[in-house]
Amino acid sequence: MTDLDRLLDFAARSRLPEGGFGYLGADGRVVRGRPVETWIVARMTHVFGLASLPGRPGADELARHGVAALTDGPLHDREHGGWRSSTADDRKAAYVHAFVVLAGATSTSAGVPGGRALLDEALAVWQTRFWDDDAGLAVEEWDRGWTTLEAYRGVNANMHGVEASLAAADAVAGTDPATSDRLRAQALRTTERVVHGWARERDWRLPEHFTADWTPLPEYNRDRPADPFRPYGVTVGHQFEWARLALHLRAALQGRSGHVGRDWLLDDAVALFGAAAERGWAADGHDGFPYTLDWDDRPVVQARMHWVLCEAIAAACVLGEVTGEPHYGELARRWREHGEQRFADPATGSWHHELTPTGDVGTGTWSGQPDAYHLAQMLLLDGRPVRGSVAAALR
């Protein structure tokens, strides 16, 4: 079975002496010549922050290394504010900033020096540049100087915005309850619109791509269906991820005034998970979940992504914890066995990020084993109480 300590040893190899973390290749070494990417640095900082909570040796230093890179390194745009997407890309993306918020939140919860300052700045940027209060959703991408906003709107960035907002709410609850309540309310607005609205209206087939006024674009990227961040069609892994996040949100709201009658969060999580599991598993006749399906549930990109399986397992574990139904634990066990047999790489201690439907290593969307975010969270969530964030569950 995949061992968390060995996975973290693998992840530690991504540490760059000049600051931050690099993209890991199939051999478990940093891919040289590749730009330093903010989403990788932020996700690795989050992972090491989580690992420091139960006292994993060396994790605190690695989390501090990540916080320093996000605070003082070249990814941080001191002139215009916010964070560049990479050392080679000046665009300011909601997806990237959501992970900076997450890194700051987890570092704050773990007591990492500089974590709270990073969180406060990242939240300020998120609120002023990305959060659209009229829509209850985040906009997508700006140029470096915040002068031109992309017309595209996307659900992927909003999903990670919900995750980051819940983590930030947990991190500041003891010192700034008003901000904590506001962040949870925003996460609820987004989840209600995405899951209780668009997903439910389409029989649990969630559209991901939209115009600037939030009109769905069901044919978006049909000619580039394997895009790593904006694939065409129904993204099975995101449906599992949204189901899990709905349950984290439900846990965060329980017992709070003004949030009575949110039973739909559990009902929708069950339905969204069930649709992804039933329609996704072996949809092309091979075990595993294809990356994407079309609007008639037919496989489009048949590659198996490690993160899709990780999110399926994590969602099953959380549903089992919330409902007490053994069915979910059995699914988590079966899918975990599949992952250990197919994805686990004994040479690195991590999982291959992409496989073909028959189990060979693939590179159609992802090459190498870039980071440990999905796999580490899957391992850490198993058997934990359900809270607003993974960090809160570990605490």
Active-site hit among 65, 97, 160, 238: 238
| DSSP string for 189-218 | HHHIIIIIIIIHHTTS----EE-TT--B-T
Residue of 97, 352, 353, 374 with catalytic role: 374
Annotation marks residue 374 as catalytic: yes
Cβ within 8 Å of residue 382, ≥6 positions away: 313, 314, 317, 332
* Joined tokens for residue 135: 């829509």
3-state secondary structure at position 76: strand
CB atoms within 10 A of CB 89: 14
Which token pair is 370? 């870039």
Torsion of CA 92, 97, 98, 99, to 10 degrees: 120
Q: Is 238 annotated as catalytic?
A: yes
How many residues does the structure list for the chain? Answer: 395
How many alpha carbons lie under 13 Å from residue 75 in its C-beta half-sphere?
Answer: 28
CB burial of 249-259 (b: ≥16 within 10 Å; e: otherwise) equals bbbbbeeeeeb
Active site residues: 238, 374
